[in-house]
Chains A and B, each alone.
Chain A
Amino acid sequence: MHTSDIYVAGLGVISALGYDLKANRHALQSGESGIGAIKHLKTIHKDVFSVGEVKYSNADLEQASHLPPGTSRTALLSSIAAREAYTNAGLHPQTGLKIGFVSANSVGGMDKSEDFYSAFSNDHHKGKLRDVVGHECGYSTELVARQLGIHHYVSTISTACSSSANAIFHAARMIAAGYLDVAVAGGAESLTRFTLNGFNTLMILDPNPCKPLDENRKGLNLGEGAGYVVLASEYALSKLDTKVYCRLSGWHNVNDAFHQTASSPDGAGSYMAMQGALRKSGLRKEEIGYINLHGTSTQNNDLSEGTALIRLFGEALPKLSSTKAYTGHTLGASGGIEAVFSVMSVMDGYVYPNLRFETPMKDAPLHPVTSFDIDRSIRHVLSNSFGFGGNCSSLIFSAT
């Protein structure tokens, strides 16, 4: 162990695949996709688009999270997964450690704001204020931090679809710099009419279950959920009764600076993010055993990411897949949920299938894994998160 190393000591996740780590693990192993018809989100597109919706009503989630009725679904999902990670790492209020909570999301409490706005838009005296009080992205973070009794450092990051990856490595840097001993880091996102309609205007939603990396991919499926890792210093580990999953060994953030929404065709941002994370980790690219791709299933992302991968790894591409065919694209939560999946890969050698894949892309042929596999030789896993605004981030998790 090296004193500046950052360890992963806890995991928590809720997604279309299930309520907790165990349920997600089971669905991933058995190849059961969480994509299906919309049940809970109120929208006219209900019967049109497939989504990765968490299979519980707000009432169920309120009960499970001990948060009051009317709380944003973003906060409910965040609370459940963050508490699982917190407990999983053996954290408790009496550790004496400097604990941080760094959580990401892309639209805050928009699920409630849009309800407020329906009433407010016709009459500015109408609309329940409690529906708009949680609009700010930081509100859900602070609500959950208070529930967990975390106050030393509470931070929220929002860089569209790369938000959670940035939250995870901001937390790692805060630990490395000595500001924190341990941090719960990741992100949460709930389905909203705002994002569903927004992505619909961009014409990148697939009505059917998506096919990432496939030549005939038709777009993405939106998803929702939350995923957190507990990052800890060596000192924190000595104070906690917990096991060590792996290390967070590499990270990097760049901006593609190409277009507000589209990635550059040559994948410059993706390439630099992956290359920077490798440099930080001190690993050779041959040492990466599995890549959990951003792989949204849009024409633009998959081609751009594929081009960057081929440029970086050449013929010798590691095993790779996009788990968005399982969960949908959970936007601000995706980096957190996929970090949890990546940690399980390092720990247990899990290689997840890229569901529904048939035909490699003509212009950037990738051959993702198509059935669940356990490969105990995997020691290093790369996880990609790219977003609107050119934000590109990559993380590397390594066996200890």
Chain B
Amino acid sequence: MTKKVYIRSVGMISPQVTFAQEVPLGISTIHEGRRMNAIEPDYKIIFGPKSIRRMSRIIRMGSAAAVECMYHSGLIMPDAIITGTAYGCLEDTIIFLNKMEENKEEMLTPTAFIQSTHNSVGAQIALSIKCQGYNNTFVNRGLSFEQALLDAMLLIEEGDVTNVLVGGIDEITNTSHAILSRFDLYRSAKSDLLIEQPGKGTMAGEGAGFFLISSEASTSDMAVIEHLSMKFDPDEKLNTAQWINDVLSDLQMKLSDIDLFILGHNGDLRNDGTYESLQQAIGDSAPIAYFKHLCGEYPTASSFGLWLAASSLKNGRVPFSAEDFLQLDASSRVLMYNSASNGHHSLMLLSAC
């Protein structure tokens, strides 16, 4: 990529208080159990009581995060809207499946079906602001958000657009949680200890994170996206440290050029091994921050990681971090690496602006 890509603004709904306020520096909200539900705003204030009746929970979350992001951008309209979601609109999918089962395929109504398609959130945002620009939805499991972001960066690089609204959204529903739990993914924990005290399983999470990325600098920019890489390694042959070193050396950089690492450990011993070689390579060269004790594990959790990285650069401090260990300045660089199950790996390199 030859063009600079600025993160101008963000809208984030997550299991933390991240919505509609300055970057939070205080203590985090602690969740107990097997899942962390998003802390949702009062949608009536954002959309009006009439509109929200027609919106499913994931559409509310996604739309509200998008509205918040656009508000902070100072722009009226993006040139393109791109979303990433692995599971899509689960609540409506399950409502329709339930009705189909109960009523034996008879006497069904269309609302849930209409809103069950994976592009519903992106479509609803376009509809609400009458954005007729490019609109796309990526649904590739643990890389859904990364691919949406790559597509957005490609659009900017191609030069046809300036401002792209890009988001990652996934929800937990009671049904999906019950099904995913049967795959032995989760354990009961206290979220603040999730990573410090790893065990067999993680905590489920959810969220909606939208970013306005732009080829034009503004006074309110949070960070510059220097690089995005991803890897599909289903056979789990990847040496993480080697891969990251290769990516950095292509950029004429070394691990020691990084001022802060943000890593996607999820507190599951079966998964965190992916990070070992990297952590060894990092050594004491720079501080490491984690984020899944804040947002839980979900396929588009890297959107929360990106929020944390951009917010850290904007403020010179890691949100919700008790330690004031960072001396981030105008030349600081943050590297986020995320990996969950199924061989999905991603790397985002950000710099201060």
> Which residues of A are interface residues toward B (Cβ below 8 A)?
43-45, 106, 108, 113-114, 117-118, 120-121, 124-125, 129, 132-133, 136-139, 141-142, 145-146, 151, 153-160, 166, 170, 173-174, 176-177, 193-194, 197-198, 200-202, 253-261, 268-269, 272, 387-391
Does the CB pair B96–A174 fall under 8 Å?
Answer: no
The residues of B that contact A114 with a CB separation of less than 8 Å are: 97, 100
- The residue of chain A having its C-beta at the shortest distance from the C-beta of B118 within the complex is A158
Contact A159 to B179, CB < 8 A, known contacts A137-B118, A257-B127, A389-B123: no
Contact A268 to B132, CB < 8 A, known contacts A43-B105, A44-B106: yes
Does the CB pair B141–A257 fall under 8 Å?
Answer: no
Nearest CB on A from B154, distance (A): 6
Does the CB pair B139–A138 fall under 8 Å?
Answer: yes
Does the CB pair B134–A390 fall under 8 Å?
Answer: no
Could you give 27 example pairs across A and B, Cβ below 8 Å? A45-B105, A117-B101, A118-B101, A121-B97, A121-B98, A121-B102, A129-B183, A133-B183, A137-B118, A138-B139, A138-B143, A142-B234, A153-B232, A155-B140, A156-B138, A158-B88, A166-B136, A174-B154, A177-B154, A202-B114, A255-B135, A261-B114, A388-B119, A389-B122, A389-B123, A390-B126, A390-B127
Looking at A117, A136, A170, A200, which has the most chain B CB atoms within 10 Å of its CB? A136
Contact A258 to B127, CB < 8 A, known contacts A177-B157, A253-B135, A389-B117: yes
Q: Does B86 lie at the interface of the complex (its beta carbon under 8 Å from any beta carbon of A)?
A: yes
The residues of B that contact A136 with a CB separation of less than 8 Å are: 86-87, 139, 141
Does the CB pair A388–B139 fall under 8 Å?
Answer: no
Q: Does B151 lie at the interface of the complex (its beta carbon under 8 Å from any beta carbon of A)?
A: yes
- The residue of chain A having its C-beta at the shortest distance from the C-beta of B176 within the complex is A135
Q: Does B81 lie at the interface of the complex (its beta carbon under 8 Å from any beta carbon of A)?
A: yes
Nearest CB on A from B238, distance (A): 10
- CB contact between B138 and one of A106, A157, A176 (< 8 Å): that residue: A157
A269–B233 Cα distance when bound, in Å, is 38
Does the CB pair A197–B108 fall under 8 Å?
Answer: yes
- The residue of chain B having its C-beta at the shortest distance from the C-beta of A132 within the complex is B179
A388–B87 Cα distance when bound, in Å, is 18
A387–B117 Cα distance when bound, in Å, is 10
Chain B stretch 323-353: residues in CB contact (< 8 A) with chain A: 342
How many residues of chain B are within 8 Å of chain A by beta carbon? 58
The residues of B that contact A257 with a CB separation of less than 8 Å are: 126-127, 129-132
Does the CB pair B123–A151 fall under 8 Å?
Answer: no
- The residue of chain A having its C-beta at the shortest distance from the C-beta of B108 within the complex is A201
Chain B stretch 129-167: residues in CB contact (< 8 A) with chain A: 129-141, 143-144, 147, 151, 154, 157-158
Does the CB pair B96–A194 fall under 8 Å?
Answer: yes
> Which residues of B are interface residues toward A (Cβ below 8 A)?
81, 86-88, 93, 96-98, 100-102, 104-106, 108-110, 113-120, 122-124, 126-127, 129-141, 143-144, 147, 151, 154, 157-158, 178-179, 182-183, 232-234, 342
The residues of A that contact B158 with a CB separation of less than 8 Å are: 173, 176-177
Does the CB pair A253–B134 fall under 8 Å?
Answer: yes
A279–B342 Cα distance when bound, in Å, is 41
- The residue of chain A having its C-beta at the shortest distance from the C-beta of B123 within the complex is A389
The residues of A that contact B137 with a CB separation of less than 8 Å are: 157-159
Does the CB pair A255–B132 fall under 8 Å?
Answer: yes
The residues of B that contact A106 with a CB separation of less than 8 Å are: 117-118
Does the CB pair A142–B97 fall under 8 Å?
Answer: no
A125–B181 Cα distance when bound, in Å, is 11
Contact A253 to B136, CB < 8 A, known contacts A106-B117, A158-B88, A388-B114: yes
The residues of A that contact B143 with a CB separation of less than 8 Å are: 138, 155
Does the CB pair B132–A158 fall under 8 Å?
Answer: no
The residues of A that contact B132 with a CB separation of less than 8 Å are: 254-257, 268-269, 272
A170–B138 Cα distance when bound, in Å, is 10
Nearest CB on B from A311, distance (A): 16
A272–B124 Cα distance when bound, in Å, is 19
- Please name 6 further chain A to chain B contacts, defined as beta carbons within 8 Å, in addition to the given A159-B136, A260-B123, sorted by A numbering: A157-B136, A158-B138, A173-B154, A198-B110, A259-B127, A260-B115
The residues of B that contact A201 with a CB separation of less than 8 Å are: 108-110, 113
- CB contact between B140 and one of A117, A154, A194, A387 (< 8 Å): that residue: A154
A161–B132 Cα distance when bound, in Å, is 17
- The residue of chain B having its C-beta at the shortest distance from the C-beta of A390 within the complex is B123
A254–B124 Cα distance when bound, in Å, is 14
Looking at B133, B135, B143, which has the most chain A CB atoms within 10 Å of its CB? B135
A260–B140 Cα distance when bound, in Å, is 23
The residues of B that contact A170 with a CB separation of less than 8 Å are: 136, 151
Does the CB pair B154–A255 fall under 8 Å?
Answer: no
Does the CB pair A137–B139 fall under 8 Å?
Answer: yes
Contact A194 to B178, CB < 8 A, known contacts A45-B105, A145-B232: no
Does the CB pair B232–A142 fall under 8 Å?
Answer: yes
Nearest CB on B from A188, distance (A): 13
- The residue of chain A having its C-beta at the shortest distance from the C-beta of B94 within the complex is A117
Nearest CB on B from A122, distance (A): 9
Looking at A120, A133, A145, which has the most chain B CB atoms within 10 Å of its CB? A120
Nearest CB on A from B257, distance (A): 24
- CB contact between B232 and one of A154, A160, A269 (< 8 Å): that residue: A154
A118–B101 Cα distance when bound, in Å, is 6
Nearest CB on B from A253, distance (A): 5
Does the CB pair B87–A389 fall under 8 Å?
Answer: no
